[in-house]
Structure 1
Amino acid sequence: MRKTIFISHAAPEDNDFTRWLTLQLIGLGYTVWSDVFELKGGEDWWPLIEKEIRNNTIKFLVVLTKSSIDKDGVLKEIAVAQKVKKQLEDDLFIIPLHLDTALSYDDINVELIRLNSINFKKSWAEGLKMLLERLEEDNIPKGSGNYDEVRHLWDNMYLQNKKALAKTEIYSSNWFPIEELPKVLRFHRLKYAIPDGFDIRKLQYPATMFKNYLATFAWCYDFLSDLPKTTTYNQADTIEIPLEDILNGKSGDRIIDIREAKKIVVRLLNDGFIKSMNNKTVSKYQMSNKTSFWIKKGVLEKDKFKKIQLIGKQKEKYWHYGVSADVKLFPERCFVINSHIWFTYDGENLIPEAGKQHAARRKQGKNWWNNDWRNKTLAFMQFLADEDGYLKLKMGSDEFAKANVNPILFESPISYNDPNKDNLSEIDFYNDDIDDEIIPGVMEDVIE
């Protein structure tokens, strides 16, 4: 009795889809044959395939993609299936699964065009739903869901050679250590000198309001020229708290508790990172909750820094690698550098439509793997470095923070085998804040 659903596809190009579909059908109780699970190295595979189609197959599914339509193996399988179709006098024996959005009907075998294909192009889930309806209509035999077999196949296919190895491994991170900080956090009683509506962010050095005080690492005289109501200031009105006391969680000062003080430190350092970009040849884009920095085309020779591509072409667009930073105080004092990809048409002005940016980011990002993201992040940070090889943040006229442009490394007692990229799903490693719509006027150049 025929009961096998045979899946014909291009290998390895369509392996991921075929694995997924095979496991879905087996889990629902169908008997499925696909070479991703059945064939092992060293077997004389063609006689096995031909026998399966001729003797056991009740439905022949062929995955239609740019890769499959010219594959010799797929064409041979289709030829056998067409003979079985005539033998069984079943016009619905062959079911094409249209998977590839780039595949037009002009490219498809004329015999297959005549058949009613199932559309998997927009959604695998929707395609599966239509396929199951077809199988139900044709009374294809199935048993109860065979989840044990699904688990067994999953373990054999996906977990093979993926166990933890007892091997020391050094891992890179996106944490860049802050190696020097100002000694004290200062609270200047300057609220009286700040006009209503004045934007504190416009001050030359990082500062934030706390009650009646201007909280900052800078000295009071660093702000006198920026505040029109101030000509003199009594230093006795300033409260200083040792920064190490705050970071080490020692008893709070009378005006502020430790938790609030740490929040202020984080805010000031984040602002210091942003202000430090003002003398770098980068452009900035204000996102909803962070600021990203990117490089225009033409700033770097051949759009590379230390042989690492930071600007490139995507059809009619240019992609620009970018970063944003967030301060972390525990377990390490560091800047956490997040990755972004931005797009322009001319190499200078960001594309304003959020949807176009989002679609282009997904397309570009899926072609990059861990080492690509790591190398671009390292290159960008080294591009930002000052002459001494560090990123120096000016927190006041005499106050500085210094960050290393080489990341923190972690040592692990276990390791793993690198997987085959062809078998990996697409995973986004970049920050893709879909709500961060680009609004004209908020992008600001800081190229000197």
Structure 2
Amino acid sequence: MNNLRKKIYISHANPEDNIFSRWLSLKLMSFGYEVWSDVIQLELGVDFWRTFENEIRNNTKRFLFVASWAVKQKDNALRELAVAEDTRKSMNDNDPDKAKFMIAVRYTPDLPFGKIDPVLIRTNAADFSHGWAQGLAQVLEQFDKDGITRREDGNFERVKKWWNSVYSSNNSIQSQRELYSSNWFPIKRLPEFLRVYRYRARKKLEQADIIDVYPAARMFKNSIVTFASMEEVNRLLKTLDGEVVDNVTLIPVNGIISNNHETRFMSNKETRNILIELINKAWVQFFSRAGLNKYDMANGRVCHWIPLSDHETPHEGKGQLIGVQKYKHWHFGISGSTKLYPFPAISVRSHIVFTYDGRTIIEGTAIQHRSRRRQGRSWWNAHWRDKLKCMISLVSSGEGDLSIPVGEREFLVVGTTSTQFTSEVSYLSPDHEALLAQDLTESEWDDVEPDENEEE
């Protein structure tokens, strides 16, 4: 094999897989390997194809192909793969590098390499789908076994040069205070008591499916747990021809939050989990009644989003909540989960969902995932922050706090300004335009957390 071959070539879908490919390139460079990747080296205005082909045929020691759902639609990446396979075939059969020249990087879970290109079926593989760090360790171990040339002191100057081209050269910690907004919206007021009503006709109540529509109520053993009054509960029960309740156990909400409640039939942990569940349910019902569409996500959360209006699109600029991505509509959405510590609050997460007609969610997680990455990658912190503010403001009609009913005469009040933190230092933001300029556009234009309904 050509002894001048020293580079690690990284082929990928551009721009969809740029973040991962950039990370992998910089990591390998920091370990002293000479890397070629369009997100690191390629300058605007050059002959892309001539550069790609020359690097693969003459300078590449190992060809890494980042496999993802997006790469199947990328002509450039598939052409690079074809050139790499042609280069491999041209090697002498006695060359030990021939069998190791191409490495398929498993970047997307549950994506058979053969679905992308038959060439990848018989190619060496590195698995990054269970963690980037694990995949990197696997690649580094293989490179070390293969004796691939690298600088022992790392290629830090190259990494620094690239970093400074994207980040301001004087980028550093700044000695000035800065205010940061969180996604925690404080619960300013809760009902005084959680009410537990003994009710023996549990099956009849469950069969009526009334618990799902009744404001903030749930069954616990043979009891109804809610914030609502006895009068309100009995009015509901009479419509079912069931038993009415005539006694109630009052559990102080402040005692639940401070971990000072315990009864013989319900532990403090159980009451905390029920309190969290009821607040979450009230949040979902409130946003549904406000006219937002609902999307049940795989992790059990409920995302609310604004459907496309026939007359207007809510907000513009960074606060825009609906837009167009090619032949699809994107919609900004939110989901909420209750936190009781260190203070009662709703943690509001941001999402992007996609429709064809502006009203019906596109079926298929793969389409949603690919579209979400394309759209979200061009949004920076300010975009997400402003969209979240606009969504909350829209639901509150700009009139201050959210007053969420949990019974006819019971409400919980959530502030519309998120909790803010002050830092004694600041930093300069990256040059976003320089970063995006490296993401070549072949086409037009981003939650895994444990279940938060239960506390540890």
Query: What's the TM-score, normalizing by structure 2?
Result: 0.66
Classify the secondary structure of the residue corresponding to 2:426: coil
Q: Which residue of 2 aligns with 1:244?
A: 254
Q: Which residue of 1 aligns with 2:140?
A: none
Q: Which residue of 2 aligns with 1:24?
A: 28
- For the Cα contact (< 8 Å) 1:218–1:396, is it kept in 2? yes
Q: Which residue of 1 aligns with 2:294?
A: 284
1:71 maps onto 2:46 in alignment: yes
Deviation at 1:158, TM superposition (A): 4.3
Q: Which runs of 5+ in 1 are unaligned?
A: 35-60, 83-90, 131-141, 434-448
Classify the secondary structure of the residue corresponding to 1:209: strand
1:201 maps onto 2:211 in alignment: yes
Deviation at 1:172, TM superposition (A): 0.7
**Aligned AA for 2:190?**
L
User: Structure 2 vs 1, CA of residues 252 and 308 (structure 1 numbering), >3 Å: closer, same or farther?
Assistant: same
1:168 maps onto 2:177 in alignment: yes
1:328 maps onto 2:326 in alignment: no
- For the Cα contact (< 8 Å) 1:176–1:335, is it kept in 2? yes
Distance across 2 between alignment mates of 1:337 and 1:4: 51
Q: Which residue of 2 aligns with 1:317?
A: 328
Decide which moves more: 409-418 or 382-391. Answer: 382-391
Distance across 2 between alignment mates of 1:62 and 1:258: 56
1:182 maps onto 2:191 in alignment: yes
Deviation at 1:221, TM superposition (A): 1.8
- For the Cα contact (< 8 Å) 1:272–1:393, is it kept in 2? yes
1:191 maps onto 2:206 in alignment: no
1:73-222 equivalences under 5 Å are 93=58, 102=74, 123=105, 145-151=150-156, 153-154=158-159, 158=163, 161=170, 163-192=172-201, 195=204, 197-222=207-232
Deviation at 1:120, TM superposition (A): 9.4
Distance across 2 between alignment mates of 1:349 and 1:223: 36
Deviation at 1:62, TM superposition (A): 8.9
Q: 2:447 aligns with which of 407, 431, 446?
A: 431
User: Structure 2 vs 1, CA of residues 201 and 230 (structure 1 numbering), >3 Å: closer, same or farther?
Assistant: closer
- For the Cα contact (< 8 Å) 1:62–1:95, is it kept in 2? no
Distance across 1 between alignment mates of 2:106 and 2:265: 59
Q: Which runs of 5+ in 2 are unaligned?
A: 89-100, 108-112, 114-119, 126-146, 440-445, 450-456
User: Structure 2 vs 1, CA of residues 306 and 299 (structure 1 numbering), >3 Å: closer, same or farther?
Assistant: farther
Query: Which one has the largest radius of gyration?
Result: 1
Report the RMSD for the aligned CA atoms in angstroms: 4.7
Distance across 2 between alignment mates of 1:387 and 1:25: 50
Distance across 2 between alignment mates of 1:211 and 1:17: 52
Distance across 2 between alignment mates of 1:164 and 1:231: 66
**Aligned AA for 2:153?**
D
**Aligned AA for 1:431?**
D
Classify the secondary structure of the residue corresponding to 1:298: coil
* 1:304-334 Cα deviation digits (max 9, x unpaired): 2798211111111111111111011111211
1:368-379 equivalences under 5 Å are 368-379=379-390
Q: Which residue of 2 aligns with 1:416?
A: 427
- For the Cα contact (< 8 Å) 1:27–1:146, is it kept in 2? yes
1:336-351 equivalences under 5 Å are 336-351=347-362
User: Structure 2 vs 1, CA of residues 248 and 26 (structure 1 numbering), >3 Å: closer, same or farther?
Assistant: closer
Deviation at 1:211, TM superposition (A): 2.4
Q: Which residue of 2 aligns with 1:436?
A: none
Q: Which residue of 2 aligns with 1:233?
A: 245
Distance across 2 between alignment mates of 1:15 and 1:359: 13
User: Structure 2 vs 1, CA of residues 263 and 64 (structure 1 numbering), >3 Å: closer, same or farther?
Assistant: closer
**Aligned AA for 2:399?**
D
Task: State, as a whole percentage, how many aligned pairs show the same letter.
Answer: 25
User: Structure 2 vs 1, CA of residues 92 and 367 (structure 1 numbering), >3 Å: closer, same or farther?
Assistant: closer
**Aligned AA for 1:217?**
F
User: Structure 2 vs 1, CA of residues 249 and 219 (structure 1 numbering), >3 Å: closer, same or farther?
Assistant: same
- For the Cα contact (< 8 Å) 1:305–1:379, is it kept in 2? no
Distance across 2 between alignment mates of 1:8 and 1:264: 54
**Aligned AA for 1:165?**
Q
- For the Cα contact (< 8 Å) 1:306–1:379, is it kept in 2? no
User: Structure 2 vs 1, CA of residues 226 and 202 (structure 1 numbering), >3 Å: closer, same or farther?
Assistant: farther
Deviation at 1:73, TM superposition (A): 11
Classify the secondary structure of the residue corresponding to 2:236: coil
- For the Cα contact (< 8 Å) 2:199–2:244, is it kept in 1? no
Distance across 2 between alignment mates of 1:295 and 1:184: 34
Q: Which residue of 1 aligns with 2:91?
A: none
User: Structure 2 vs 1, CA of residues 155 and 275 (structure 1 numbering), >3 Å: closer, same or farther?
Assistant: same
Distance across 2 between alignment mates of 1:356 and 1:144: 40
Distance across 2 between alignment mates of 1:297 and 1:143: 55
* 1:215-252 Cα deviation digits (max 9, x unpaired): 11111221223321346432xx2011221121122242
Q: Which residue of 1 aligns with 2:413?
A: 402
- For the Cα contact (< 8 Å) 1:320–1:343, is it kept in 2? yes
Classify the secondary structure of the residue corresponding to 1:265: helix
Classify the secondary structure of the residue corresponding to 1:360: helix
* 1:95-137 Cα deviation digits (max 9, x unpaired): 69899975559x99xxxx899569999859999989xxxxxxx
1:296-311 equivalences under 5 Å are 296-298=307-309, 301-304=312-315, 308-311=319-322
- For the Cα contact (< 8 Å) 1:26–1:145, is it kept in 2? no
Classify the secondary structure of the residue corresponding to 1:225: helix
Distance across 2 between alignment mates of 1:6 and 1:362: 29
Classify the secondary structure of the residue corresponding to 1:301: coil
Tell me the matched-pair count: 372
Distance across 1 between alignment mates of 2:232 and 2:172: 58
Classify the secondary structure of the residue corresponding to 1:325: strand
Q: Which residue of 1 aligns with 2:396?
A: 385
- For the Cα contact (< 8 Å) 2:319–2:383, is it kept in 1? no
- For the Cα contact (< 8 Å) 1:386–1:392, is it kept in 2? no
